[in-house]
Amino acid sequence: MNIIEIENLSKTFTTTFGKRTVKALTDVNLSVEQGSIFGLLGQNGAGKTTLIKILLGIVYPSAGACKMFGEEFSHLHLKKRIGFLPENHKFPNYMTGREVLTFFGKLSGLENLHLAKRIDEMLELVEMTKWSKSKIKTYSKGMMQRLGLAQAMLNNPDLLFLDEPTDGVDPIGRKEIRNVLLALKEGGKTIFLNSHLLSEVELITDRVAILHKGKIIREGNVHDLTNRKEEYRIVVDALLESTLDVSLKEKYELRKVSDSTYLIRVDEQRPVNDFVDHLRGKGISIKEMAQEKNSLEDVFISLVKAEEKN
C-alpha cells in the first residue's frame, strides 16, 4: 500500500509583484510504500524541501494532486500521524529540551499523562536525557538534531519526514540515528528522507528518487540503481591474460584490476555462467566473484551530469 501518492505536482514561486517566477517543481510523480525508507536526493535548490513542505501544508502546490494515507493531503487531522524534522530547525532557545518536547507534544495533541512518559522514552532514545533540563541555547548542532528527531517522533507517527537529519551529527551519532530509523522501519513506520549524504542514504533507504531542477530524473530501488549489471569482479588464482584465449578475453572485455582481480563485461550474448564454466574447464579456481556496484553517489553524479548536458 502506498502511504504517499503524488501526481503531476508542480510548484512555481512568484515574487511579491509577480516580476519573477521560479519553477521549484515540475510534474513530479512519486509514490512511497508503507513501511519503507524513501530517500529524496538532489542538489541544493533541486526542490527537495519544497516537496516535503507541500506534503506538510507549509507550501501550497501550483498544480497536481497529493494523497497521504489514502486521503487528500491537506486534511489537518493527518498531521497527527506525521512527524517532521525540518532542516535548520529553530526551537525557542529560552526553553529546556524537555520544555520544548512538552510544548510541541501538546501541540501534536498528546495528553499530559502519556506525554511525560513518551518524552522520557524519546530523550533516552536520542541519548539526550542528561541534557533535557539544559536551555536550548547551550546545545550544540548535534544535540539540536537529536532533540529535533525526538520532537519528530514524539507523537509516534506513522510517517516521518526528515530533512537532513544527520546534519551536524558526529559519525557515532549518525550511526545511532541510522539504527533508530531502521528500528522504526522494522516497526512498520514509513520514513521520507531528504539528505545530501548519499553514502548514508544508500545504507538505509529502500527506494530513492533523484530530483534535479524540480524534476524527478530517476526513481527506483537502491539496489537496482547501484548495480552495474553488466560488470563482474572476479578474483582467481591464475593470470587470466595468459591463460585464456584471446577471443574469450575480447568477448568478455577482460580487464585486469590487480594481480588476481579482473573485471568482465556480461550480457545476454556473453553469459557469466559460460565464462565461469570456461575458467573451471581450465582448472582455474574462483576465489571470489561479485557483481560490480556503483555507489549511489556515482549514480547521482552521472545522472545529474547527463541531465545538465541535455
Under rule CB under 8 A, which residues in 148-177 are in contact with other proteins? Answer: 151, 161
Number of residues that bind other proteins (CB under 8 A): 30
Q: Which of 227, 224, 230, 219 is nearest to 294 (CA)?
A: 227
By C-beta, is 101 or 264 nearer to other proteins?
101
Which range binds other proteins by CB under 8 A, 78-86, 112-120, 210-218, 291-299? 78-86
CA distance 274 to 279: 9
SS3 1: coil
Shortest reach from residue 54's CB to other proteins, in Å: 9
CA 61, distance to chain mean position in Å, is: 23
Stretch that binds other proteins, among 53-61, 65-73, 191-199, 223-231 (CB under 8 A): 53-61
The whole-angstrom separation of Cα 298 and Cα 258 is 22
Instruction: Fill in the DSSP letter of residue 266.
Output: -
For the CB of residue 76, give the shortest distance to other proteins in the complex, in Å: 6
Quickly list DSSP for 227-265. EEEEEEEEEESS-HHHHS-HHHHHHTT-EE-SSSEEEEE
Positions in 2-31 near other proteins (CB under 8 A): 13
Cβ proximity to other proteins: between 111 and 237 the closer is 111
Angle between helical axes of 97-107 and 112-125 (0-180°, round to 10): 130
Q: Which is nearer to other proteins, 53 or 212 (CB)?
A: 53
With respect to other proteins, which residue has the nearer C-beta, 107 or 306?
107
Unique residue bearing C-alpha cell 525508507: 37
Taking the complex as a whole, the smallest distance from the CB of residue 164 to other proteins amounts, in Å, to 12
Q: How many CA atoms lie within 13 A of 165 on its CB side?
A: 33
The C-alpha atoms of residue 238 and residue 217 are separated, in whole angstroms, by: 43
In the numeric block, the cell 519526514 is attached to 161
Nearer Cβ to other proteins, position 114 or 223?
Answer: 114
- Smaller CB separation from other proteins, 84 or 252: 84
List beta partners, residue 2: 33
* Residue 162 or 216 with smaller CB distance to other proteins: 162
**Of 58, 63, 290, 301, the one binding other proteins by CB under 8 A:** 58
Site for other proteins in 84-143 (CB under 8 A): 84, 86-92, 94-95, 103-104, 106-109
Binding site for other proteins (CB under 8 A): 13, 53, 56-60, 76-77, 79-80, 82, 84, 86-92, 94-95, 103-104, 106-109, 151, 161
